[in-house]
Amino acid sequence: MADTTRTATLTIDGQTYDLPMHSPSVGPDVIDITKLYGQAGVFTHDPGFTSTSSCESSITYIDGIKGELLHRGYPIDQLAEKSHYLEVCYLLLYGELPSAAELETFESTITRHTMIHEQMHNFFRGFRRDAHPMATMVGVVGAMSAFYHDSTDITDERQREIASHRLIAKMPTIAAMAYKYSIGQPFVYPRNDLSYAANFLRMCFAVPAEEYVVDPVLERAMDRIFTLHADHEQNASTSTVRLASSSGANPFACIAAGIACLWGPAHGGANQACLEMLKEIGSVDRIPEYIARAKDKDDPFRLMGFGHRVYKNFDPRAKVMKQSADEVLELLGVENNPLLQVAKELERIAVNDAYFIEKKLFPNVDFYSGIILEAMGFPTSMFTPIFAVSRTVGWISQWKEQLADPAMKIGRPRQLYMGETLRDYVEIEDR
C-alpha cells in the first residue's frame, strides 16, 4: 500500500472521523474510506466513479491536464515511435523493458500460441454471417474456458502466465476469423515467420487463391495502432475485467466481459461510431449543422471521437494517431481522402469553439483511428475488434496485478436506495 501521509477529517452532525490519506508516486492523493461505513454508518456516493480510486496499480499513469500517458513510466509517444507492440506487451505484463534475449523468448512464445483449438472453428459456424464480429469475439473468447482447462486455475501462477500468453496470442486469430466468417471467406491460419501485426493483416486479407504480401507501411501502422490502444488505467472495460476477476472467474470469462463492455459506443465502439458520423456529415460544409446538434441539449447527438473522462486538454494517443493518419494515407495515395478532410476541419472548428473549449472536448484516441483502419481496408465493424485485440494485454496485465494484490477482495459496491420502504403484500382481489 502507498504511504499514509496525512489524515482527512470528516465532520457529520458534530462527530468527526479521521480518514487516512495515501500519496501515489505521481498524481492526486487518495482518501481511504474503507472503514468509513463501519465508523460513521454512511456510504460515499459517486455514480460513474468520477472521483473514485478503485485500486492500487503500477501499470499505467494518465495525467488528464498535461495529456500524459505513461506505461510503467515510459511515455506513449516514445513507445509508439521507438518500441513495438509485443515489446510493449512485455513491459505491461512484467514491468520492465525486456533484454534482447527476453524479448526473443517472449515473441517466440506468443508466436507459437497463435493457433486456436481446431474444434473451436465450429463455434463460428453457429453464428449468422451478418453477426457483428464483436458478438462473435465475446462468444468465442468466453468459450476458450471450455478448451483450455489447463490454464483456468487462477491460484496457479504458471497457469495465469499460460492463460495470459494464450489470450494475447490468440486474440488476433479470433478477430481475423470473425472477419473472414462475416465475409464468407475461408479462415487463414497464422504463420510463425510473420510479426504480430503482419500475421493479423494476412489472416484478415489473404485468400487461398493467391499469395498475400504484407505491405511494411501497413504493418507498421497496424503495430502502432495496437501499441496506442494497449492499456489505459481503470477505464470501463478494464474495471469490468477487474470486477469479474474479483469473484474468482477464470481469465477467459473475465476477458470476454471486458470485450462486451468495450463494445459500447461511449467506449471502444466510438471508433466505429466516429467513422459512421464522418460519413454521415459527408462534407465540410455540413459540419456546422452537426456542431449545433452536439451543443443542443435536446438532441442526444454527440460528436463521436470527442471528449474524455480523464483527458481535459488533449489525448496524447490522438496526436500520434493523427500523424499516422497523414503518413498512411499519403503512402496509400489517398491523402485527399474526403473523410480525412472532414475530420481535420471538424477538429479545427471544434477545438476553437467556445462550447467545446468550455466542456473540454477535443479528439480522443478513436477520432483518427477509424480513418486509418478504413484506408487499410477494414470495414467499420472490425474497428472495435481491433481495439479489443490491442487492449487484451492491458486487461490481462491489470487482471494479473489484481490477483497478486493481497488487499484484493470481491468488488461489491453499495447504493443510495430511493425505492419503497417496507410494506405488506396485497392480495390480488384487494388491489
Task: Name the site residues for ligand SDX (rule: CB under 6 A).
Answer: 48, 232, 235, 266-268, 270, 294, 302-309, 359, 361, 364-366
Residue 274 beta carbon to ligand SDX: minimum distance, rounded to whole angstroms? 6
Nearest distance from C-beta of residue 315 to ligand SDX, angstroms: 7
Catalytic residue list contains 22: no
Q: How far is the CB of 305 from ligand SDX (least distance, A)?
A: 5
Q: Are the CB atoms for 227 and 79 separated by under 8 Å?
A: yes
Distances in whole angstroms, Cα of residue 2 to Cα of each of 18, 51, 58, 166, 235: 18, 18, 11, 32, 21
Query: Which residue in 308, 405, 424, 430 is the catalytic one?
Result: 308
If one counts every other C-beta atom within 10 angstroms of the C-beta of residue 38, the result is 7
Q: What is the distance between the alpha carbons of residues 370 and 403, in angstroms, rounded to a whole number? A: 34
Q: How far is the CB of 80 from ligand SDX (least distance, A)?
A: 14
- Count other Cβ atoms within 10 Å, centred on residue 330: 13
Bridge partners, residue 10, by sequence: 17
Nearer to ligand SDX, 300 or 406 (CB): 300
Percent helix, strand and coil across the chain, each rounded to 5? 55, 10, 40
> Closest distance between ligand SDX and the C-beta of residue 316, in Å?
11
Write the CA distances from 247 to 97, 164, 409, integer angstroms: 31, 18, 8
Q: Which is nearer to ligand SDX, 62 or 177 (CB)?
A: 62
150 is catalytic: no
Alpha helices in 301-382 (DSSP H): 316-331, 338-351, 354-358, 365-375
As a whole number of angstroms, the distance between CA 166 and CA 8 comes to 45
Catalytic residue among 366, 405, 424, 430: 366
Whichever of 116 and 371 has its CB closer to ligand SDX, that residue is: 371
Query: What cell was used for 71?
Result: 506505461
- In this chain, which residue has its C-beta nearest to ligand SDX? 307
Give me the residue label for grid cell 465475409: 183
State how far the Cα of 384 lies from the Cα of 135, in Å rounded to an integer: 11
Cα(119)–Cα(148) distance, integer angstroms: 12
Minimum distance, C-beta of residue 376 to ligand SDX, in the bound complex (Å): 20
Strand pairing of 68-71 and 60-63? Answer: antiparallel
Please, which residue, 205 or 362, has the CB nearer to ligand SDX? Answer: 362
Q: Is 9 helix (H, G, I), strand (E, B) or coil?
A: strand
**Cβ atoms within 10 Å, residue 46:** 10
Distances (CA, A) of 395 to 164, 189, 315, 391: 10, 25, 20, 6
Of 203 and 320, which CB lies nearer to ligand SDX in the complex structure? 320
Closer residue to ligand SDX in complex, CB, 69/221: 69
Enter the C-alpha cell of residue 66.
Answer: 498535461
Cα gap 236→64, rounded to integer Å: 16
Give the phi and the psi of residue 267 in degrees, each rounded to 5: -125, -120
Q: Minimum distance between the CB of residue 393 and ligand SDX, rounded to whole angstroms? A: 13
Please check whether residue 348 is in contact with residue 301, taking contact to mean a CB–CB distance below 8 angstroms: no
Strands of the 30-31 sheet, one edge to the other = 3-12, 15-23, 30-31
Comparison of 162 and 254: residue with beta carbon closer to ligand SDX: 254
Q: Min. distance of Cβ 293 from ligand SDX in angstroms?
A: 9
Closer residue to ligand SDX (CB): 304 or 372: 304
Q: Which residues are catalytic?
A: 308, 366
